[in-house]
Chain A
Amino acid sequence: MSDLRQQVQRLVVDTSACAGHGLCYSTSPQLLDCDDQGYPVVLQDLSSEHDVQAAEAAVIVCPERALTIEPR
C-alpha cells in the first residue's frame, strides 16, 4: 500500500458520467475547481498523503461515481 501511495497519482473526471452536482469541488476545493458550466476542473496532482485523502473524500462523495484516482 505504501508503495502505491508514493507513486504520483491524479484525480480523473469521467466527463460523460459527471452531471455537475458540485459535491466534489465543495468537498475538496484544494484539488478541484469548477468551470463556468459547473463541471469540475482538476487543479493538481496528488503529491502528498494529505492530497490523496482529500481526493478519496471527493471520489466517495460523487453520486455519479464520476471520479477515480489513477496513477499518473
Chain B
Amino acid sequence: MTTTEKAVPEHLVVDFDIYDQSLAQPVDNVQQRVAELSAKGPIVYSTAHGGHWIVTRYKEIHEVLRDPDTFSSYPNNLVTGPAGMGKLLPIELDPPEHTGYRLAMQPLFSPSRMKALTEQIRDQVNELIDDFAGKGEAEFISEFAHELPARVFLALMDWPLEDAPLFTEATDIILMGKPGLNEEENQQARAAAGFEMFGYFHKMVQERRENPGDDVTSTLIHTEVELEDGKRLLTDEELYRMLFLLLIAGLHTVQGSLAWAIIHLVNNPEQRRALIEDESLIPTAVEEILRIEAAVVPGRRATRDVELGGVQIKEGDQLILTLCSANRDSDEFDDPTELQLDRHPNRHLSFGGGPHRCLGSHLARIELSLALEELHRRIPDYDLVESDPPILHASQVRGCMRLPIIFTPTA
C-alpha cells in the first residue's frame, strides 16, 4: 500500500503542484516556493497528482539519485508514464537493464565527439545572431534559445532542419500540456503528440536503415548493443524510445538555461561585465548558470519501504526531486542564492547524478559556452524589455517560453 495523506505528519503535507502555471506566471516564483518547501524539511508530501513526495535538499536528493535499486527511475514523470507512450530509453530503465543501452549511447555524446562539433555549433550560433543583430531587438526564445538546440539536435541526427517546428509543438505539448485543457484532455493531447513523433521517427529510421550515414540515427540503427538478452541490434521500438528521450531531454533544457543566463546576467551587471572582459570565466559561468536554476525536476518511484530524510516512504510511492533547491542548499553552497560566475567548487546537480546522470551534459555545456561567448562578443549590452517581461513556465522541465530583449544594433 502506498502512503496516503493521512499517514503523513500534518506539517509535511503541502498542496504544491509543479505543473501549476501560477508558480511561474505572471512572475516566476518557483524558487521561492520550493525554498519554502525546503524550509519545512528535506522531504515533504504533496497532495497533487494522486499524492507524491517532494525531496528538497542536496543530501537526500543525492542519496536518491545514487540508489536506483531503491528509487526506480520509472516512471520518471508524474503525468505521462503508464498513460503515455511507454518507457523512455534508457532513462526509465534501471541498472542492470539500463546499463547496455546507456553504454551504447554514451559515446555518441562523449566529450571528444562533442568537442569535434564545436566549430559547427559556433557557426549555428552566429547564423542565428546574424538574423537579429542589426535589429537591436529579438524575441530571444524563438529567434535563438529554442532554435539553437533544435538545430544542433537535427544536425546530430541528420534530419531536415525545416522539421524543427514539428518538434517544437510536440515537445511543448508533451512537457506542458495545452493551455485550457483539463487533465484528461491533456493526457490525450500528450499521447497524440507522442504518437505523431513516433510516426516521424519511424519514417527517419526506415530511411536511414536503407541509406546510412555517420549521424547518430544511423549509428544507433547499425550498432550491435550488449543487452541482457545478448548482443544484438536495437529494435525499431527501442530506437523510437531512445530518439524520443533525446528530443525531450535536449531541447527545452538548453532553451531554459539560455534564457536564465540572459535574465541572471541582466540582473547581475558586474558579473556580466567581468564575463565580457574575461572569456576564461565562461566554463565556470556555465556551471553557475546551470546551478542557479536547474531546469529539470526528475521523478522516482520507491521500490520498497524505506526511510528518507526522517520520514517513512512506502513501496510504490512516487517522488520528485527539486534539483533547483538542492542547488541552493546552504549546507552545500556558500551564499547559495548569489550568482558567482567563478564559483568553485560547484557540485551542482542540474545534470542529476548516479547512473542516470544526463547523457547530454557535454553537449549542453558546449552549446551554452558557445552561446555565451558569441552573445557577449556581439550584443554585450542586451537588456530585458520592461513593458514585455519574460514568460516562464513551471513543470518537470522548467523553462522560458518568451523573452524579448533589446541591445545596441551591430553589423
Contact = CB atoms under 8 A, between A and B. Distances in A.
A71 interface: no
A33 to B, nearest CB: 9
A61 to B, nearest CB: 5
Nearest to B346: A61
Given A57-B344, A60-B345, A61-B347, A19 B112 contact: no
Contact of B353 (A34, A36, A38, A63): A63
A63 B349 contact: yes
Given A22-B361, A22-B362, A64-B66, A37 B106 contact: yes
Nearest to A26: B283
B344 A61 contact: yes
Nearest to B106: A37
A38 B108 CA distance: 10
Nearest to A18: B357
Given A37-B103, A37-B107, A19 B346 contact: no
B348 interface: yes
Interface string A13-26: 00000011111011
Given A26-B283, A34-B112, A38-B362, A20 B345 contact: no
A34 B110 contact: yes
Contact of B357 (A19, A25, A60): A19
A22 B365 CA distance: 10
B107 A61 contact: no
Contact of A22 (B103, B111, B348, B349): B111
B362 A63 contact: no
Interface in A20-63: 20-23, 25-26, 34-38, 57, 60-63
Contacts of A38: 106, 109-111, 362
Interface string B91-128: 00000000000010011011110000000000000000
Contacts of B66: 64
Nearest to B352: A19
A67 B281 CA distance: 24
B16 interface: no
Contacts of A23: 287, 347
A61 B283 CA distance: 13
Interface residues of A, number: 18
B199 interface: no
Interface residues of B, number: 25
A21 B110 contact: no
B355 interface: yes
A36 B362 contact: no
A52 to B, nearest CB: 16
Q: Chain A binding site: helix, strand, loop or mixed by DSSP?
A: loop
Given A19-B353, A63-B349, A63-B353, A36 B283 contact: no
Interface string B332-373: 000000000000111111010111010001100100000000
Which of B106, B283, B345 counts the most A-chain CB atoms under 10 A from its CB?
A: B345
Contacts of A64: 66, 353-354
A19 B106 CA distance: 11
A62 B351 CA distance: 13
A34 B112 CA distance: 8
A22 B103 CA distance: 16
Contacts of A62: 347
A22 B287 CA distance: 12
Contacts of B349: 63
A43 B82 CA distance: 46
Contacts of A34: 110-112
Nearest to B348: A63
A45 B109 CA distance: 29
Contact of B106 (A20, A25, A57, A63): A20
Interface of B: 62, 66, 103, 106-107, 109-112, 283, 287, 344-349, 351, 353-355, 357, 361-362, 365
Given A23-B347, A63-B348, 18 more contacts: A20-B106, A21-B353, A21-B361, A22-B361, A26-B283, A34-B111, A34-B112, A37-B103, A37-B106, A37-B107, A37-B110, A38-B109, A57-B344, A57-B345, A61-B347, A62-B347, A63-B347, A64-B353
